[in-house]
A and B are shown apart, each in its own frame.
Chain A
Amino acid sequence: MQSIISAKNVSMRFNLGIEKGYSLKQAFVDLITGKRRDKIDNDFWALTDVSFEVAPGEVIGFIGNNGAGKSTLLKVIAGVMNPTKGSVSVCGNICPMIELGAGFDMDLTADENIFLNGAIMGYSKDFISSKRDEIVEFSELSDFMSVPVKNFSSGMIARLAFSIATIVDPEILIVDEILSVGDYSFQQKSEEKMLSMIKGGTTVLFVSHSAASVKKICNRVIWLDHGHVIKDGDTSVCDEYVASFSV
């Protein structure tokens, strides 16, 4: 079977010498002290030689400690970053679950945000119009559709974001620690929605720290540590990951 995602020897380098908001002052200081910032050797390899193939319909969990490279890997797959070395090829449309509310404009109403967010994810106007009611119903926010999102609670924003993100059946769904949104009943509902999408054949890339939820949802697990793939296998990898802490 042809793979839907194939990553070949992906390596990703960050230069930690790059300070956020590099300013004229620093450039000036560097000029005087004769320091060349980009020459400073503090490269950080977030991913080293990561290769894997994903078959359609697979549900892959990525586990690992903070800084293991999980989110970087997903960003490379989503096309947000280009890998320093290696290549990633994806055949199919990707739906990244945008970090809760990242695509929202707080001054717009919930209704306007549905269209804005849908457009950001690449859907057409007709498509969003036809799905609008379904989104409203799933989010349980029908009384608040004409309220600016800035007046929403964080749980309400999360519910709206989740409802928009999952309303289509994308071929590939990227989920980065999102299931813990909303109150208990919405968590149940979102988990059910995820499971039904998985049954429908969506390929899911799922990042989580919770070995239990990975075990519940995924049928394949990739364990990353410091940018390397430690193990790639079935859910028993979860147990090994958990066991690695008890030694």
Chain B
Amino acid sequence: MKSVKNIAFALKTYGFLMQQLVGRDFKVKYKRNVLGIAWSLLYPVLLMGVMAIVFSRIFKINVPGVSYLVYLMTGLVYFNYFSEASSLAMGSVVVNFSLINKVYLPKYIFPLSKCIFVGINFLLTLIPLYAVIILTGTGLNWYHLLLPFSFFCLFLFTVGMGFVLSAVSVFLRDMFYIYGIVLTLWTYLTPIMYDINMMNPKFAAILKFNPLYQYINFARMIIIYRSCPSWLNFVASLGSALLVLLFGVFVFRRNQDKFIYYI
């Protein structure tokens, strides 16, 4: 009860700051581009176009019975959110050192604001995703109303990772390079451009422990296979997200008072 009160108090006090930080990121990101916010819509479409050509034409990867474009784009939209938000969150504490050193601010606000900022971008990328769903004739169904559940899990998972990464990178600057490599590896270990059933079953079983696979799978089940995710999908998605979030909060809280000596 007390913590609920604390959270409500923090929301009231720092809500406006959060709004300003997210707004700042938007202004800075789009201000100097000719196309501005249209890039949020164009970028995923172009990226998907390139990958679709490379994987379906050159490598001849195909997922039987479904539109490969939709298959690919669902995975891309989810994974890109994670990779962009977690990378930005990782640097957010280090970058804002001049503030942390002068004013008392809750430090979690920096990684969290990055995850929210990229989250708004993520919502914008749903527009081209739905355009592709409709144009390819994949069609809509009522289960689409369950999709926000997977957005929510993806968000919690990313926030958790953002907390861990931003805390670790304060102590270990090498993380910025290491994580770049890890992300590349992660891209290939997540079934974004291939179907997990194409893999060796033993290897596929291991890949299913990847939380991002859970969220993408949840979405594909609805968008592509027009079926309702099983209760196991719900549990795996929410469970992995909460676990990582709690771990992130734990790591961040334990270390946040030490940040100032290391920056």
**Chain A contacts to B: CB under 8 angstroms:** 14-15, 18, 20-25, 27, 75, 78-82, 94, 96, 98-99, 102-103, 105, 107-108, 112, 115-116, 119-125
Q: How far is A8 from B105 in the complex, measured between Cα atoms in Å?
A: 23
Q: When the two chains form their complex, are residues A102 and B99 in contact, meaning their CB atoms are under 8 A apart?
A: yes
Does B172 interact with chain A (Cβ within 8 Å)?
A: yes
Known contacts A78-B103, A96-B102; A124/B16 CB under 8 A: yes
Asked if A22 and B104 sit within 8 Å, CB to CB, the answer is: no
Whether A108 contacts B102 by the Cβ 8 Å rule is: no
Closest to A27 in B: B172
CB of A103 within 8 A of CB of B24, answer no
What 1/0 mask marks residues of chain B from 221 to 263 whose CB sits below 8 Å from any chain A CB? Answer: 0000000000000000000000000000000000001001111
In this assembly, does B179 line the interface, its C-beta being within 8 Å of a C-beta of chain A?
no
B:4-43 near A, CB below 8 Å: 13, 16-17, 19-21, 24, 27-28, 31
Give CA–CA (A6, B31) in the complex, Å: 47
Residue of A105, A108, A119 with highest tally of chain B CB at under 10 A:
A119
Q: How far is the CA of A20 from the CA of B172 in the complex (A)?
A: 10
Could you list 17 examples of A-B contacts with CB < 8 Å? A15-B261, A18-B262, A22-B172, A22-B173, A24-B172, A24-B178, A80-B100, A96-B103, A102-B99, A102-B101, A102-B102, A107-B27, A108-B24, A112-B24, A116-B24, A119-B17, A122-B13
Query: Which positions 105-146 of chain B face chain A at CB distance < 8 Å?
Result: 105
Q: Which of A22, A75, A120 contacts B99 (CB 8 A)?
A: A120
Q: Across the interface, which residues of A come within 8 angstroms of B260, CB to CB? A: 80-81
Contacting A120 at CB < 8 Å: which of B27, B103, B257? B103
Residue in B27, B103, B263 whose CB lies within 8 Å of A98: B103
The distance from the CB of A155 to the nearest CB of chain B, in whole angstroms, is 19
- In the bound complex, what is the Cα–Cα distance between A27 and B168 (angstroms)? 14
**A80 neighbours in B (Cβ, 8 Å):** 100-104, 260
Chain B residue contacts of A20, Cβ below 8 A: 262-263
Question: How far does the alpha carbon of A103 sit from the alpha carbon of B20 in the complex, in Å?
Answer: 12
CB neighbours of B174 from chain A (8 A): 23-25
B171 within 8 A of A: yes
B24 & A105 in contact (Cβ 8 Å cutoff): yes
Report how many residues on chain B are interfacial, defined by Cβ distance under 8 Å.
28
Interface of A is mostly: loop
Taking A24-B174, A96-B102, A121-B103 as contacts, is the C-beta distance between A107 and B31 under 8 angstroms?
yes
| Cβ contacts under 8 Å, B200 to chain A | none
Q: Does any Cβ of A come within 8 Å of B98's Cβ?
A: yes
With A15-B261, A23-B173, A105-B24 given, name 4 new contacts (CB 8 A): A22-B171, A78-B103, A107-B27, A115-B20
The reply to whether B99 and A103 contact each other, CB–CB distance below 8 Å, is: yes
Cβ–Cβ contact B99 & A18, under 8 A: no
Assess the B105–A120 pair: CB atoms within 8 A: yes
- Chain B: which residue is nearest A14 at the CB level? B261
Residues of A within 8 A of B262 (CB): 18, 20, 22
Q: How far is the CB of B15 from chain A (nearest CB, A)?
A: 9
Q: What CA separation (Å) do A124 and B27 show in the bound complex?
A: 20
A115 to B21, CA, bound (A): 10
Beta-carbon nearest neighbor of B105 in chain A: A120
In the bound assembly, the distance between CA atoms of A102 and B101 in angstroms comes to: 10
The answer to whether B16 and A107 touch across the interface, beta carbons within 8 angstroms, is no
Specify the chain B residue showing the minimal Cβ separation from A80.
B104
Q: In the complex, which residues of chain A have a beta carbon less than 8 angstroms from the beta carbon of B31?
A: 107
Shortest C-beta distance, B178 to chain A (Å), equals: 8
Q: Residue of B at shortest CB range from A19?
A: B262
- The residue in chain B whose Cβ has the minimal distance to the Cβ of A13 is B261
A94 to chain B minimum Cβ distance, whole angstroms, is 8
Residues of A within 8 A of B261 (CB): 14-15, 18
A80–B98 Cα distance when bound, in Å, is: 11
CB of A165 to closest CB in B, whole Å:
11
> What chain A residues lie within 8 Å of B13 (beta carbons)?
122
Q: How far is the CB of B108 from chain A (nearest CB, A)?
A: 15
CA distance A80 to B31 in the complex (A): 33
Chain A residue nearest to B20 in the complex (CB):
A119
Rounded to whole angstroms, the CA-CA distance of A102 and B17 in the bound complex is 15
Please, which residues of chain B bring their CB within 8 A of the CB of A14?
Answer: 261
B residues in contact with A124, CB < 8 Å: 16
The answer to whether A105 and B257 have CB atoms under 8 Å apart is: no
Chain B residues contacting A75 (CB-CB under 8 Å) are 101
